[in-house]
Amino acid sequence: MKNNLKKKEDTFKKTNFRLKALLTLTQNPLQALSPYQIPRSAKYLRVFEDRETGDVFATTDLAAQINKRNRALRKFSQKYKKKLIGKNGHITIYSMIANIEDYPNISQLMRPIRTRLKRHNIPVKGYIWLRDRGNYEFVPHYHLLIVINRENNSKFEKICSKYKLKLDPQKTCGMANNYLKQKEVFAKHGQRIFGTSKTFDT
């Protein structure tokens, strides 16, 4: 009952605002020429007005995308708490890095991994990925956090070694909860900046 009331309240809050203005912003021409090296800039500024109070607030399309990404990262870190990952836990979070030059499309990275994991009966509990660019070498790459049962660690590492992926078993969710949430967006306009599994299972 409480959840239903909360949903109704959220719906009311959303409908309580109206779009007052939609402004097209000036684009950085370098971003179009080098989308994986130049941080994405916002295309639109949306201005909303509270129907009751007349209060006005504004947000950009880029801010909305980053907020959505960070909500997913927060959900991931909240689901896989330290007690599940520590010495007495039953799962392992692997942090993986893959260069976009080797995998222009995220499906080219995920499909073979998932196929081989299924073949070896290794269930994926959950995953989340996002695009990034190196701070020092400036190499465009994906960050992929993938969760499996601890008992399958050795088999998983052998599978990933075939694809020459950089692996780092994570003992905490610090990367999802802190590091990745601070990242800028390096991607073409209209291109996905992150993705997740349908569910985060434990």
> What is the residue extent of each domain of the chain?
2-63, 65-196
The Cα–Cα gap between 82 and 90 comes to: 11
Q: Which CATH superfamily is domain 65-196 in?
A: ACT domain (3.30.70.260)
Residue 4 identity: N
Are 170 and 180 within 8 A, CB to CB? no
Residues lower than pLDDT 50 in the chain? 1-2, 5-9, 11-12
Query: Distance between CA 30 and CA 90 in Å, rounded?
Result: 46
What are the pLDDT digits (tens) for 76-111? 999 998 888 877 889 999 988 889 998 889 999 898
Nearest to 36 by CA among 131, 127, 123: 131
Say which residues have a Cβ less than 8 Å from residue 51's Cβ, sequence separation at least 6.
Answer: 16, 17, 18
- Which amino acid appears at position 193 of this protein? I
